[in-house]
Structure 1
Amino acid sequence: MSELTIAKRLEELGIVLPRASEPAARYANFVQAGSLLFISGKGPAGNPKGKLGLQFTTEEGYYFARQAGIEILAVVRSALGSLDRVKRVVKLQGFVNAVPHFEEHHLVLNGCSDLMLDVFLEKGLHARSVLGAASVRANLPIVIDSIFEVEE
């Protein structure tokens, strides 16, 4: 898929990528090792605070995961100069800030997974894991890190 096609696809989806967010502490926003690009954990825009199953519903969590995915794409574009260099989404790992009895972590992370499939089509199909967390930085509802295979 060419950058023009990805740009058109983003436009069709109504997605405008923001400027890449900066790291929240002392670490790199991304690291490239050979053909793998590792994106540090990203949360949703606006820094909402709270837990799934307490302040937020699964549906709201899905939206937050999608927002975090948009933040991830902005960093990928910043790192590579072009989303056209993405060969595939390799893995997403979500950390859902949730109450102990919350059981829909997988449905929350679908917000980011669906975004990657919408944007990259078959190249967006990825492995993933999702974990419930007693807490995450800044009391965000979700933080997602990711790995992409890229053209060197």
Structure 2
Amino acid sequence: MTEEVVEQRLSQIGHQLPSAPEAVGFYVPVLRTGNLVITSGQLPMVGKELMFKGKVGTELHEEQAFHAARMCALNALAQIKKCVGSLDRVTRIVRVEGYVQSAPGFTRQPQVINGASELLIQVFGEAGKHTRIAVGSNELPMNAAVELAIWAEVVD
């Protein structure tokens, strides 16, 4: 069995697709409706451990939050794969919704969420270009630095 193209691209840029994290509340982590797959908010988790905690701009540097956003995107991709069986079935990343737990005065949320956006474009090319929201929040679940959701179009 050969490795999938998208996962090969991930590997080439130094990333491996993690196992899809379990929900930490009463919701589904991913949902398909028609040709859209939408993830719930993904945190920068490895297994059951939250890797980046705190407010960006005081407790964490922007560069750390950039990596947290990238980790959230990897977890979202793991959810999409779990839902449809293969990331090679993704025809377009439609939307990225990024939330950054921000210290007062921190306004570089777009640069933080670029961690996810750049990764998606690296692995999906033109199909990885997406609409996006990057907002600051005074608190996020479990004190996470970043939370991210992805909307993807898929084919059967």
Question: TM-score band, normalised by the shorter chain?
Answer: over 0.9
Residue in structure 2 matched with residue 140 of structure 1 by the alignment: 144
Match of 1:6, as an amino acid?
A: V
- How far the C-alpha of 1:104 sits from its partner, in A, is 0.4
Alignment of 1:43-122 (within 5 A): 43-45=43-45, 46-47=49-50, 48-122=52-126
- How far the C-alpha of 1:10 sits from its partner, in A, is 1.7
Q: Distance in 1 between matches of 2:108 and 2:125?
A: 25
Match of 2:84, as an amino acid?
A: L
Q: Distance in 1 between matches of 2:68 and 2:117?
A: 12
- Percent of aligned positions with the same letter in both sequences? 33
TM score, norm. by length of structure 1: 0.95
**Deviation string, structure 1 residues 6-32 (Cα, Å, up to 9, x no partner):** 232122112111111011100011111
Q: Distance in 2 between matches of 1:7 and 1:132?
A: 31
Partner-residue secondary structure (3-state), 1:41: coil
Greater shift, 3-12 or 56-65, is seen at 3-12
Residue segments in structure 1 that go unaligned for 5+ positions in a row: none
Following TM superposition, where does structure 1 have runs of at least 4 consecutive aligned residues deviating by more than 6 angstroms? none
Residue segments in structure 2 that go unaligned for 5+ positions in a row: none
Match of 2:106, as an amino acid?
A: F
Q: How many residues matched?
A: 150
Residue in structure 1 matched with residue 34 of structure 2 by the alignment: 34
**Deviation string, structure 1 residues 34-93 (Cα, Å, up to 9, x no partner):** 111110000112412200011011111101100111111111111110011101000001
Match of 1:138, as an amino acid?
A: M
**Deviation string, structure 1 residues 69-126 (Cα, Å, up to 9, x no partner):** 1111111111110011101000001111011200100000000000100111111000
The 1:33–1:52 alpha-carbon spacing in structure 2 relative to 1, beyond 3 Å, is same
